[in-house]
Chains A and B, each alone.
Chain A
């Protein structure tokens, strides 16, 4: 008997660590499957919480006890089960409104967007624009205005036609209005409301939204105009490699040869076309909410192709709720716009205070011949050859 007792104690002793291990594997055993204090603490400190354990705990009306049975009137789904179903978007919701997002009553994934929009997006956005302006100011202080080095000839060459300049200024003026109104929308709640109050900001916000929504069409039309006018001149070639290797004239002496558009201008052109198109598409998605769902489909493709795994990321969240589509579109629209604005700051700098003779290209369309020889030598040769050819024909 004593031997049996000794074996029993030994077996119990051996099982204890196994049971302890079990409780580690299932940390919610002690709460009967509900969330633990650790879950709550992690959520409060903004850490990721694995909520898979309760995501599916949404009850089962089919498994309800008969109504005649004890407590049968409770049904198979408790109120907590119902709210979990709404929170994790698995409940079968029927609403009077037929709007596309009307059946998502709780959008559990929206808080990260709100926090990102109010925090890092504003901080890094302001740092990007402020940093770019600072760098340009430093460059100006160090390098000064880039002057026309040779003697001015007094003769001019037509650089851009009236139509080209019209397209450029339509794009530029709409971009400036969109940029300003976009920044007011982005920074309004955090910066302008504390400074001017809700009433003043409300009027400004209504005007800003109207302008931003409607001026956007002029931007999109102008984007198409400048693409059609200048795409042929902006195809990259070997001349651009030489230009880039000399930093556009900053490295070494003299100006590297360039065609109508040098490599720097080509970078600006393609940035405007690619980023501007991306901003336009995401803007259209915001302008007509829930009509274009681009991000869910893109995420699914990236997951299928394994691209997220290649860069060491977990698969992207899919499918997205209609609200999430809008949130991603808003972030994309804002981030790409901020990047393009920083690039345009550099473009405005070099086209105005940064370089003597550059503004005339878009101001009057006529540039000093010496300026053209220094900055676009190959283009000047082309123009003069064409003139000779024309005069021979005449």
Chain B
């Protein structure tokens, strides 16, 4: 049972942790579409 509970804790930690990392490095699908860096206004 301990292994099961530890797995649930790890699952929550990985889920939240990965999300925080991806948000922190600005790696999201939205960035590919909506960031100003992907818009050209000069040509």
Contacts and interface: CB of A to CB of B under 8 A. Distances in A.
Q: How large is the interface on A (under 10, 10 to 19, 20 to 34, 35 or more residues)?
A: 20 to 34
B39 A98 contact: yes
Interface in A206-226: 210-211, 213-215, 217-218, 221
A213 B22 CA distance: 11
Interface in B1-43: 1-4, 6-8, 10-11, 14-16, 18-19, 27, 29, 32-33, 38-41, 43
A166 B15 contact: no
A165 B8 CA distance: 12
A174 B19 contact: no
Interface string A268-289: 0000000000000000000111
A202 interface: no
A89 B39 CA distance: 21
A144 interface: no
A361 to B, nearest CB: 12
Contacts of B7: 165-170, 172-173
A172 B8 CA distance: 10
Given A215-B15, A289-B32, A97 B10 contact: no
Contact of B11 (A173, A289, A363): A173
B2 to A, nearest CB: 7
Contacts of A98: 38-40
A169 B4 contact: yes
Nearest to B14: A218
Contacts of A214: 15-16, 18-19
A288 B1 CA distance: 36
> Of residues A162, A166, A287, A289, which shows the largest number of chain B Cβ atoms within 10 Å of its Cβ?
A166
Interface string A285-303: 0011110000000000000
A253 interface: no
A162 B2 contact: yes
A10 B28 CA distance: 76
A100 interface: yes
A364 B39 CA distance: 57
B12 to A, nearest CB: 9
B8 A173 contact: yes
A96 interface: yes
17 contacts: A165-B7, A166-B3, A168-B7, A169-B6, A170-B7, A172-B7, A173-B8, A173-B11, A177-B11, A211-B15, A215-B11, A217-B14, A217-B15, A217-B18, A288-B29, A290-B32, A365-B3
Given A170-B11, A363-B4, 7 more contacts: A162-B2, A166-B3, A170-B7, A173-B7, A214-B18, A215-B15, A218-B10
